[in-house]
Amino acid sequence: MASVTYRNVTKRWGDVVAVKNLSIEIPDGEFLVFVGPSGCGKSTSLRMLAGLEEVTEGEILIGDRVVNNVAPKDRDIAMVFQSYALYPHMTVYDNMAFGLRLRRTPKQVIDERVREVAASLGIENLLDRRPRQLSGGQRQRVAVGRAIVREPAVFLLDEPLSNLDAKLRVEARAFISKLHQRLGTTFIYVTHDQVEAMTMGQRIAVLRAGELMQIDTPTNLYDHPANVFVAGFIGSPAMNFFDNSELKEVDGKMVVDTGLFQIPVPSTRIETYRPHLGKRVIFGIRPENIAHPDYQPANVEPAMVEANVDVVEEMGNEKIVYLEEGGKTFLARFDPRADVHVGERINVVLNLYNMQLFDQETEQALQ
């Protein structure tokens, strides 16, 4: 097992900067997730660690060793790809044993490891099959098993669940999380799916256009996003934003004027926001912090506003309600018992304890 360090790492292809000055320390045994939209540099960051891409600037360390010029086979890592990359002409047993054979591991040791890992993954009855005879979920387990038998210092997983259907993805998320708990090895996982990131990662590194936007625990990313991008990327449905709002005083009280309604600033935030009075801001609030008045949660600091009901999505356990006011659409998550119908004009309650304010120009959170 080993820690991983990115130290001012940059990757360029000509004039294109894929990763810019990335610095992260990943402790031994941590499950870190790189998340972000397509083209943000997350897979490139993983591939540089694996030795599949050269580092343009900076250093990557596995443990205390700089590995920039170390061959991939000598980095003591194992990688699980989106495509699984199984050899189609080999059996499951041979696919799992292949890496150990290259290392000239004794046959008895190979057999013991393959069968032990296969049993732990529930694929011991598939060892004589070939990849074409397996389901997507089974292939995914074989690919993970092939990595485990090598007993690497670091596991790298590049969107390994992308080819699975929705039900299998949920099962596979739990499976990989349990696997990490059991092995205690460093896991670095790449995904564009923020649900995967939130449910699996001990910490999440959010990337955008090759730059690290924020790295933190799932809870802190959700509750205290550093900027508009993180706030909008983490959470589903996404946070509602009201651009070109103004932070000002009205009748001696601090409010956020969105142009559609005025939101009183909670007493606990007044001193934090006071230096920003008079500035243009972005007001953000998540759909789950907008409730029907009959079902508002306890212990909130409420603000009542009016809006028109545009769309109602019945989800069974909740209602996703599209609200419209002054040409602006925003979403709310209502209790499933809320009696609400398209075309109505209703009152909704905002939970101000969980509101967010961002600078209009820099899009950074006001702190």
Q: What is the DSSP string of 128-160?
A: T--GGGS-HHHHHHHHHHHHHTT--SEEEEEST
Report pLDDT for 87: 87
For residue 12, pLDDT beyond 80: yes
Q: Does domain 4-233 have CATH number 3.40.50.300?
A: yes
Confidence category of residue 271, pLDDT binned at 50, 70, 90: very high
Report pLDDT for 117: 84
- In CATH, which of 3.30.300.210, 1.10.10.410, 1.10.3720.10, 2.40.50.140 is domain 240-359? 2.40.50.140
Name the pTM for this structure. Answer: 0.88
pLDDT per residue as tens digits for the range 216-250: 999 999 999 999 999 999 998 999 999 999 999 99
Report pLDDT for 139: 86
Report pLDDT for 354: 92
Q: Which stretch of DSSP H or E encloses residue 176?
A: helix 166-183
Average pLDDT for 177-204 = 92
Dihedral (C-alpha) 98, 156, 161, 235: value to the nearest 10 degrees? 170
Average pLDDT for 274-293 = 95
Where do the structural domains in the chain lie, given as residue ranges? Answer: 4-233, 240-359
Report pLDDT for 40: 94
Q: Provide the β-strand partners of residue 12.
A: 17
| Beta strand 154-158 pairing with 77-80 | parallel
For residue 84, pLDDT beyond 80: no
User: What percent of the chain has pLDDT above 70?
Assistant: 99
